[in-house]
Amino acid sequence: MSYPHAATQDQPNKAAPWVLWSPLGFGVVLALAALVSLPTSVPVLLASALMLLVSVVITLAIKRAWQQECLQMRAHVQQAQAQAQSGKSDWQLSQVEDLCQGIAPILVRQIQSSRQLTEDSVLTLSQRFAALVDELDQILNGQGGRQHQDNMQGVSQMFEHSGQRLTNVIQALDHVLKDKDAMLQEVRRLAAYTDELESMAEEVRQVADKINLLALNAAIEAARAGEYGRGFAVVADEVRSLAASSADTGGRISAKVSEITQAMTRTSTNAERSSKQDAQMLTEAETSIQEVLGSLRAAVTDVEQDAGNLRATSEDVRTVIADVLLNLQFQDRVNQILQHVETHVQELPHYVRSLETETDTLDKILQTMDKAYTTLEERTNHQQHLNTRQSESTRGSPTQARSSTQSAQDEDNLTFF
């Protein structure tokens, strides 16, 4: 609200308009006109004097009325100005207070929900990271690690044990094969006996032939002896009969020995072939077993190496997660800073009210804020703002100021009493 005409009406005596003098001028002109145009006489002179007097009286009356009006107006304007000034101040503070009361609760709610959201998220993150670190610890140092080591030791022992048992099987088969060879040698040695038996059977046949011939001669001589030789002839026949029987037996022996020889030769041949096949199979089985064991051992070694690599990677991951977890400490500081901001936003209407009743309000508010701070960042920001207010030349971001002193701070962070 403004009063532009107030300044022009402030000094009515000095600036009385010329119009106020017009009745006097009009009276003087009429008086002069009467004196000039009419013949000089007492009535004309009286009338002119009267007009002049009336015009003077009217002019003075008008001027007095004007002055009074001006004085009243000035008083009125002054009063209006005073009222306007006071009303304006009250109006502004009231509006600002209303504004603060209308906005501050919303801002406080926004800050609170932001704080809660950040705290919840960081808590969830930290819990998950902590769970990950725990699990990795268990894998690396706890039951999981030990179980893995036990498993790997068990696998190695199982391989050693299986290799030993398979070697034993190979050795047993080898032993069987050697026994079979020994038996084959025996068969071959028996084959040598059959030749001898064949020779003996031949000898039996030859003796039988000789006996038969001898018995034939004896029969001839018995016949030649006549009656005296009759008994001898009977003996000779019997001997011939025995010789024939012996020759027959020798022939059958020879035939059987021949059959046996053939059978033993076949057996020996088959046994030799089987022995060679067994030896080849044994060699192949031993080679296969060694190859399979070697492959499995290589696979286990690979698994062990992979497990070692996995373990090293897990340790790296654990370290990284632990570092990330440490960096989540920012939440605590951010939370405290936001709490203080929230408090001061809540206090804004009160701060505005205090403008009406207190002096040095800003300084007092700044001191209150400074006392409430708990973090270095808050104090640094506050001080830098004050410095900026004092001099535009001293500028710098809080982060830069902080990072330059970070390493020194780490050393000074711990105090023993």
Binding interface with other proteins (CB under 8 A) = 119, 122-123, 125-127, 129-130, 133-134, 137, 322, 325-326, 328-333, 335-336, 374-376, 409-410, 412-417
CB atoms within 10 A of CB 59: 18
Cβ distance 190 to 264 under 8 Å? yes
**Rounded least distance, CB 416 to other proteins, Å:** 5
Q: Which is nearer to other proteins, 180 or 333 (CB)?
A: 333
Q: Which is nearer to other proteins, 121 or 151 (CB)?
A: 121
**Rounded least distance, CB 379 to other proteins, Å:** 8
**Rounded least distance, CB 325 to other proteins, Å:** 6
Q: In a 3-state reduction of DSSP, which class is residue 361? A: helix
Q: Which is nearer to other proteins, 241 or 329 (CB)?
A: 329
**Rounded least distance, CB 172 to other proteins, Å:** 54
**Rounded least distance, CB 312 to other proteins, Å:** 18
**Rounded least distance, CB 317 to other proteins, Å:** 14
Give the whole-angstrom CA distance, residue 411 versus residue 417.
16
Q: Which is nearer to other proteins, 18 or 416 (CB)?
A: 416
Q: In a 3-state reduction of DSSP, which class is residue 316? A: helix
Q: In terms of C-beta distances under 8 Å and separation of at least 24 residues, what long-range contacts does 174-183 make, across chains too?
A: 174/282, 176/278, 177/275, 177/278, 177/279, 177/282, 180/271, 180/274, 180/275, 180/278, 181/275, 183/271
Instruction: Give phi and psi for 109, each to the nearest 5.
Output: -60, -40
**Rounded least distance, CB 368 to other proteins, Å:** 16
Q: Which is nearer to other proteins, 127 or 277 (CB)?
A: 127
CB atoms within 10 A of CB 355: 16
Q: Which is nearer to other proteins, 227 or 410 (CB)?
A: 410
Give the whole-angstrom CA distance, residue 398 versus residue 333.
15
Q: Which is nearer to other proteins, 280 or 399 (CB)?
A: 399
Q: Which is nearer to other proteins, 177 or 328 (CB)?
A: 328
User: Residue 302 corresponds to which tokens in the numbers above?
Assistant: 């690979």
Report the greatest alpha carbon distance in the chain.
Answer: 259
Give the whole-angstrom CA distance, residue 319 versus residue 180.
67
Give the whole-angstrom CA distance, residue 340 versus residue 379.
12
Interior angle at CA 270, CA 268 and CA 274, nearest 5: 115
**Rounded least distance, CB 152 to other proteins, Å:** 25
Give the whole-angstrom CA distance, residue 309 versus residue 144.
16
